[in-house]
Amino acid sequence: MADALIIKARPLTAAAFAAYGDVLETRGRASEPMNQGWANRFRDVADVDVADNDGRVGISLVHSRADTTPVQLRLLERHPLGSQIFMPLSAHPFLVVVGVPGDVPSGDQLEAFISDGRQGVNYHKGVWHHPMIALEGASDFLIVDRSGPGNNCDESDIPGSGVEVCV
């Protein structure tokens, strides 16, 4: 795509991702002993926010085929009624492309991150995001998000002449 905007994906860190949601990882978090010392538990690694409009928590599994970089972005979506966790189960890296809540972001307002394949993400309510982009191999994810009445998915084209993400 000749005139496409190119975004370089950055490593996913809690600090860099804070405007968009939570990073589900143990790094940098406090833990407590569990199971008579056989394990350590890291509590509240993500804020599940699904109660709007009589929502409840839904648990899904997803199997995704892999894409190759550079990735041409197709669209953006947001969930106005709830947060959404993607936890990787296959240890493959994946791309996370996000924009802050509000008007549809243009390409130059998007940020791209790469998960190391062990880090999950939780999009906060209303955060614009590209559908997940699995890399390196077909990948499974656990989703924790909202089920319930009402429209909880807005989709939009990305204004402009195309956006690509490279790593």
Computed over its alpha carbons, how large is the radius of gyration of the chain?
Answer: 16
Residues near a copy of itself, by CB under 8 A: 24-26, 29, 31, 34-36, 38-46, 48, 50, 56-65, 67, 74-75, 85, 87-89, 91, 118, 120, 122, 131-132, 134, 140, 142-144, 147
Q: Which tokens hold the place of 87?
A: 């936890």
**Residue partners of 3: CB distance under 8 A and separation at least 6:** 161, 162
Q: Are 23 and 84 in contact (CB under 8 A)?
A: no
Closer to a copy of itself at the Cβ: 42 or 109? 42
Closer to a copy of itself at the Cβ: 113 or 119? 119
Give least dist CB 6 to a copy of itself, A: 21
Give least dist CB 137 to a copy of itself, A: 13
Max Cα–Cα distance, the chain, nearest Å: 59
Give the helix/strand (H/E) hosting 104: none
Tell me the Ramachandran region of residue 13: left when phi exceeds 0, alpha when psi lies from -120 to 50, beta otherwise.
beta
Give least dist CB 46 to a copy of itself, A: 4
Closer to a copy of itself at the Cβ: 86 or 113? 86
